[in-house]
Amino acid sequence: MTRLRLEILGTGFTAQHSDARVLDQLLYKWRHFRGVLTDVLVPLYTQLHRNGWPVMALAIDRDVGTLLGHGYEEFLHKQL
């Protein structure tokens, strides 16, 4: 599901474990979700690299930050 969202939306969404209903579930599922996100992102960045696209640590940090909520924070700070 996370890979499909990435393919359709790019980094235009906040990645989360959507079935976590209470805080203790969220904390438990977060540990699992970090591995899921890694399993999705590594092949995508590997494919970019194989196709000749320069994959820089700064770009990976930016993308992961956006997926983990920074995009929402950026939106909140925009002047409308």
Provide the H-helix boundaries in 2-78.
2-9, 23-50, 57-65, 71-76
Between 57 and 21, residue with greater pLDDT: 57
pTM of the model: 0.66
What pLDDT digit, counting tens, does each position of 40-62 carry?
A: 999 999 999 999 999 999 999 99
* pLDDT given for residue 36 in this prediction: 85
Contacts of 8 (CB under 8 A, 6+ apart): none
Across 22-48, average pLDDT: 83
